[in-house]
Amino acid sequence: MVMTYSDAQLAQACKLGTSTLFEASGVSTSAVDSAIRTVWPGASVAGPAYPLECSPGDNLSIHIAMEKVPRGSVLVISTGGFVAGYWGEVLTVAAEAAGVAGLVIDGGVRDIAALTARRFPVFTRGICMRGTIKASAPSVGQPISFAGTPVAAGDLVVADDDGVLVIPAARVEHTLAQGQARADKEAKMMEALTHGKSTLELMDLTSWRQA
């Protein structure tokens, strides 16, 4: 069963951002390969993962997923790192109609101008005009290894300009709480910096000062 998260939790996750939440998660594998980046600057998304796997150069699994994916989900698509145009404007329109919140794919996408204009959050390994066939569907909705990061349906995906994070469902509440505490602490530190304190002082690193 796919986990659901409240609007408040999703908004908090986006506000805290991937860097803060990664530090708070305590899960080293939760950070996705840094080569997977946003298509357009400023994109951000948070939602339950819906994982699927495509064969290299074949996007049939994506079309099948469009009939199964719960609204509000983030599609997490493994292609084994094979870069091709698995996704473009047509699938973006289909995803919007299905209530999909965003896309994370270790393959490639195309129709970048249209994706940017529609402001659909897409995070990808590459951009490629070459299309795909539709012949096989290795898995849809089942747990996957996404470039080394375990992903199961219902894990919380958070993605922004800093990268992509997958938080195991069982650790979401703890991570959000720890992330908020970290953000509050950093806000106080930045306030102190504006009043003349140094990072050496605030981080108790004064022993490194030169005599």
Residues belonging to the binding site are 88-91, 110-111
Does the CA dihedral 62-73-94-163 come out positive or negative? negative
Collapsed DSSP state (helix, strand, coil) of residue 106: strand
**Binding site for substrate: what residues are annotated?**
88-91, 110
Q: Torsion over CA of 164, 97, 169 and 175, rounded to 10 degrees?
A: 50
User: How far is 126 from 143, CA to CA, in rounded Å?
Assistant: 23
Gyration radius (Cα) of the chain, Å: 19
**CB distance 36 to 147 below 8 Å:** yes
Tell me the CB-side half-sphere exposure of residue 148, using CA atoms within 13 A: 11
Report which residue type is found at 188.
K
48 sits in which H/E element: strand 45-53
44 sits in which H/E element: none
**CB distance 65 to 54 below 8 Å:** no
Tokens matching residue 8: 């408040």
**Binding site for Mg(2+): what residues are annotated?**
111
